[in-house]
Structure 1
Amino acid sequence: MSHVMDPRPGGAPTVLRMVLGKRLQDLRERAGISLEEAGRALDVTHATVRRMEKAEVGLKIPYVEKLLVTYGITAPEEISGFLALAREANRPGWWHSFRDVLPDWFSAFVSLEGEAAVIRAYEPAYVPGLLQTADYARATLRAGLPHAADEEIDRLLTLRTERQTLVTRADAPLLWIVMDETVLRRPIGGWRVMREQMERLMEATELPNVRLQIMPFAAGPHPAMYGPFHIFRFQLQEIPDIAYAESLVGGSYFDERDDVSTFLEALDRMCAQAAPAQSTKAILDGMRKEI
């Protein structure tokens, strides 16, 4: 298992910070400089340099400038351009205003979600957050946080609504979801809420960037019966595919090729096993009429 990021109290990294960290690593390796040598240039430990490259800490501008020079970057315009990007990367994401209710481990998820070109996922229990109605979202939040104050639930619901604008923006990512039939059979929030949720999903199938597939009970066992996960793919070459798996107490991020390939292979097999996306709207309509 390899964690692509290790969110600290300073906040989850923006995707741009991940990109610049990777670029710093590439510059160091091309210059033939070890982590230890880079650390000595900054008068810090090699671990500090590694954490900068892995986007586990913010990019201190004096450190970045010193590293660029150490790596042989001397053109003033090239250095100033990199530093300008570093300052931009250090700015908190829009979700930072929700830090009172949003844990760092999920802040990282929101950052990846907002920058991905493709989002693929398997959901065995809930409609994906990006496609939930307000009533359905409130019911799921309350079920997961039974002791939370109403104000906290309201804040989380507002955050989820903000995230949903991603689906219909001009440069919206491809959202490709496989949902287990269980998702549609469990009456979260009551049957009225479920009918409205199914109608929302039917509308989503009409969007050019949304592909929904349902894994029917009749399909039998499948490769991802361990739990939900997401896979993010980016246009920027510096960022590898990243897989995310969630538990009751947090989330884990994977960027090693072998790890991500395991998730991708499972999802590809499931897509072949599930009902084709072209039939999803009819399936949803049939279920809605049964309620």
Structure 2
Amino acid sequence: MRHGPAVRRRKLGEELRGLRLGAGLTSREAARLVGWHQSKVSRIETGTSGVKPADVVRLLDAYDVTDARLRELLEALAGSAGGGGTGWWHAYRGVIPPQYRDFISLESQASAARTLETSVVPGLLQTPDYARAVTRSALDGVPAATVDSLVEVRLARQEVLHAERPLTLSAVLDEAVLRRQVGGRGVMRGQLARVLEQAQLPHVRLQVLPFSTGGYAGLTGPFVIFSFPATSDLDVVVLDHLTSSLYLERKEDLEAYGAAFRTMQAHALSFQDSLDLIAGIADGA
């Protein structure tokens, strides 16, 4: 288990090494092509040092990589792996902790996310009022200005669902998420209406695990699986805790969480039945 930048560096390095080998180059030959010492190429490929997006571009040019989507992804990964970057979230670096910035960076680069939520509505689907209520509850005593900034960040994150190439979101929600009166009845009524509205997007699929399911694989805590375009080798599982996040990147971890998510989808209500349940709860809210 590693923190976000370390995961990004290692996975970026592995991908660059694979591209170098695919181009039929040794690390010494690659270094000579870009005017570096061989040790720099080795450090990048082993993930022991960060790499600037501009340096990734030089390597990709040397390896004759023309896939625009892959180039874009690897350049972005360099920014989130300790090699700089200018994502919008950097404007909030004095407000949000590094692990949250790492999470947002992953989310902004991913092509798909599979998430299990056991207590709150996924951040990408939250209304401003609900987001403010959740933030105040989780960070009791934080100044109002800080809460406002955190809500701004939450709402800005939601742009990934409305981008030219939107994130594909598959969410499984415990029924408790829908029935917990976060912020009061009026806030919840508005929040459930937003969930129903966003569920109509073609790239959003929601399912509810009803109380009648009993115990299930993810009952002990929420998680997110991020998948990336062009290669599955960059996929990562994120486990969110109160003061930190853990990133799982081993193949066996990805397989275990992927299997658990598929099992929960199989036991959850169908898409339409889930929407019907949400609408029914909203009517009684």
- Both structures adopt the same fold (TM-score exceeding 0.5): yes
The aligned counterpart of 2:17 is 25
**Residues 1:86 and 1:277: Cα distance change in structure 2 (over 3 Å):** closer
Q: Deviations over 1:83-113 (max 9, x none)?
A: xx86984432121111111211121211111
Q: CA separation in 2, counterparts of 1:130 and 1:234?
A: 18
Distance in 1, Cα, partners of 2:162 & 2:152: 17
Contact persistence 1:137–1:157 (CA under 8 A): yes
Query: Residues 151-166 of structure 1 correspond to what in structure 2 (within 5 A)?
Result: 151-166=145-160
Unaligned runs of 5+ in 1: 8-12, 76-81
Identity of aligned residues (%): 33
Q: Which residue of 1 aligns with 2:277?
A: 283
Instruction: Kindly provide the CA deviation profile for residues 174-221 of structure 1, in whole angstroms up to 9, marking residues without a partner as x.
Output: 111001011111100001101111111111121111111111110111
Deviation of 1:28 (Å): 6.0
The aligned length equals 266
Which of the numbers 246, 251, 258 marks the counterpart of 1:257?
Answer: 251
Cα distance in 2 between the residues matched to 1:269 and 1:237: 24
User: Offset at 1:116?
Assistant: 1.4
1:59 paired with 2:52, answer: yes
Structure 1 equivalent of residue 115 of structure 2 = 121
Q: 1:193 to 1:131 in 2, by over 3 A?
A: same
Are 1:190 and 2:187 matched, yes or no?
Answer: no
**Aligned residue type for 2:131:** A
Cα distance in 2 for residues equivalent to 1:252 and 1:45: 28
What is the one-letter code of the residue matched to 2:202? P
Aligned residue for 2:47, secondary structure, equals helix
Q: Deviations over 1:232-261 (max 9, x none)?
A: 111122742211111112111122111111
Q: How is 1:102-117 mapped onto 2 (pairs within 5 angstroms)?
A: 102-117=96-111
Q: Per the alignment, in what secondary structure is the counterpart of residue 141 of structure 1?
A: helix
Superposed counterparts of 1:4-15, under 5 Å: 5-6=5-6
Distance 1:33 1:170, change over 3 A: closer
Q: Kindly indicate whether the alpha-carbon contact (under 8 Å) linking 1:23 and 1:238 is maintained by their aligned counterparts in 2.
A: no
Q: 1:74 to 1:250 in 2, by over 3 A?
A: closer
User: For 1:134 and 1:74, how far apart are their aligned partners in 2?
Assistant: 46
Query: Residue 164 of structure 1 aligns to a residue in which SS?
Result: helix
Taking the TM superposition and a 5 Å limit, the aligned residue runs for 1:115-264 are 115-237=109-231, 239-264=233-258
Return the letter of the residue paired with 1:21.
G
Cα contact 1:118–1:234 (8 A) shared by 2: yes
Counting only pairs closer than 5 Å after superposition, residues 68-83 of structure 1 correspond to structure 2 as 73=62
Distance 2:238 2:132 in 1: 23
Q: Assess if the C-alpha contact under 8 Å between 1:42 and 1:63 holds in 2.
A: no
Shift of 1:20: 5.3
C-alpha separation between the residues in 2 aligned to 1:20 and 1:45?
Answer: 12
C-alpha spacing 1:62/1:184, structure 2 compared with 1 (3 Å): closer
Cα deviation code 1:132-156 (max 9, x no counterpart): 0111000101111112111111111
Q: Which runs of at least 4 in structure 1 moved beyond 2 Å after TM superposition? A: 1-7, 17-34, 40-52, 56-65, 85-92
RMSD over aligned CA atoms reads 3.4
Is residue 18–residue 239 contact of structure 1 (8 Å, CA) maintained in 2? no
Q: Tell me the CA shift for residue 74 of structure 1.
A: 9.3
Residues 46, 205 of structure 1: alpha-carbon distance in 2 compared, 3 angstrom cutoff:
closer
Q: TM-score, normalised by structure 1?
A: 0.79
The worse-fitting range, judged by mean Cα deviation, of 135-144 and 164-173 is 164-173
For structure 2, which runs of at least 5 residues remain unmatched after alignment? Answer: 65-70
Cα deviation for residue 49 of structure 1 reads: 5.8
